[in-house]
Amino acid sequence: MESSVQTLGRNQPSPLLASGLGRRRRAVNAAMTVLIAGAFVLAMIPLFSLVFEVAKRGIPGLSAEFFTEDARGVVGGGGAAHAIMGTLIITGVAGLISVPIGIMAAIYLNEYGTGRLRRALTFFVDVMTGIPSIVAGLFAYALFEIFLGPGIRLGVMGSVALSLLMIPIVIRSAEEVLKIVPDHLREASYALGTPKWKTITKIVLPTAFAGLVTGVMIAIARIIGETAPLLVTTGVVDSMNTDPFNGRMQNLAVYAYNEYRSPGVMKQASYDKAWAAALTLIAIVMILNVAARLVYRRYKTEIR
């Protein structure tokens, strides 16, 4: 035994060092690492340059006036308070429409739906996530036109258009989250003699709460910057309007578009305001994302 080990040691290279595999493997590994890191940097460059550019150009347009004044009857001056307000109201109402519908639809798909119908609905939800936003806008416009006549522009029309975009996103994310809730929790609840609807409201939804909230916030962040559907539904207006059921309502995206498209006599001031509006939108989206993370961390449930 002893002698054979010695023979191995003397005459043959150690199997651990054999074939130069180590060097080759390390080289490949290094090359791959560089490649992947490079791809990551490439992906980050546009993102950072975008945020940097928007901040650089947007900050000059920011002022107290920008956040407190509307733009009624002013030349060059004025602010975007009406647009900020409009964005919050239109998005808020869209959320009020989409969240209940979206979550209930997800509950149906995950807890009740079976077989063909379920598959068909899932397919249509997928299709809906892909509809171009202008189509949603035109649909909402056409819908309201039937009842209120041509040329109608209302804040709530924008909300309906945005809901069409938001509902499928909410359904998708909520469905994913509900799927993660383990079946053994549902069974534990059933075994206590709990009806299905109570199992869903008291066990499944609370367990999924953090994920649901995160999904909703991401969906809001996704639609809050929509421009096209709002152009055709909420219109363009210079004055503050807080009633979504009455008259046109401005919003940040359309405001930015409009300041750029038809700047007044003081072109630079208009451009600055357009960039400031863009910066404000990005800030709102970031705040929503951070809030989503905080909610998730605070309320997440440890699921084994």
Partner 1 sequence: MLGAATKRSQPETEGKKGEMTESRPNTATSTEPAAVSGRGAKTIETRGVNLFYGDFHAVEEVTMTIEPNKVTALIGSSGCGKTTFLRSLNRMHELTPGARVEGTVTLDGEDVYDDRVDPVAVRRLIGMVFQQPNPFPTMSIYDNVAAGLNLNSTKVSKAQKDSVVERSLRGAHLWDEVKDRLDKPGGGLSGGQQQRLCIARAIAVEPEVLLMDEPCSALDPVATLAVEDLIGELKNRYTIAIVTHNMQQASRASDVTAFFNLDETGKPGHLVEMGPTQEIFTNPKKKETEDYVSGRFG
Nearest to 209 by CA among 285, 109, 125, 103: 103
Cβ of 259: how many Cβ atoms within 10 Å? 25
- CA 219 vs CA 158, 211, 267: distances in Å: 16, 12, 35
Closer CB to partner 1, residue 189 or residue 234? Answer: 189
Q: Which of 85, 203, 237, 253 binds partner 1 (CB under 8 A)?
A: 203
Closer CB to partner 1, residue 89 or residue 204? Answer: 204
Instruction: Compute the least distance from the CB of residue 295 to partner 1, in Å.
Output: 15
Closer CB to partner 1, residue 67 or residue 197? Answer: 197
Closer CB to partner 1, residue 118 or residue 222? Answer: 118
Closer CB to partner 1, residue 57 or residue 118? Answer: 118
Quick check: 160 and 231 in contact, CB under 8 A?
Answer: no
185 touching partner 1, by CB under 8 A: yes
Q: Which of 189, 214, 233, 241 binds partner 1 (CB under 8 A)?
A: 189
Instruction: Compute the least distance from the CB of residue 196 to partner 1, in Å.
Output: 8
Instruction: Compute the least distance from the CB of residue 121 to partner 1, in Å.
Output: 17
Greatest distance between any 2 Cα atoms in the chain: 102
Site for partner 1 in 105-134 (CB under 8 A): 114
Instruction: Compute the least distance from the CB of residue 123 to partner 1, in Å.
Output: 20
Instruction: Compute the least distance from the CB of residue 211 to partner 1, in Å.
Output: 12
Q: Which of 52, 123, 124, 190 binds partner 1 (CB under 8 A)?
A: 190
Quick check: 117 and 48 in contact, CB under 8 A?
Answer: no
Quick check: 164 and 136 in contact, CB under 8 A?
Answer: yes
Q: Which stretch binds partner 1 (CB under 8 A): 28-36, 133-141, 169-177, 194-202?
A: 194-202
Q: Which of 55, 134, 139, 209 binds partner 1 (CB under 8 A)?
A: 209
- CA 148 vs CA 145, 158, 159: distances in Å: 5, 15, 16
Cβ of 188: how many Cβ atoms within 10 Å? 13
Residues at the interface with partner 1 (CB under 8 A): 114, 182, 184-185, 187-195, 198-199, 202-203, 206-207, 209, 301-304
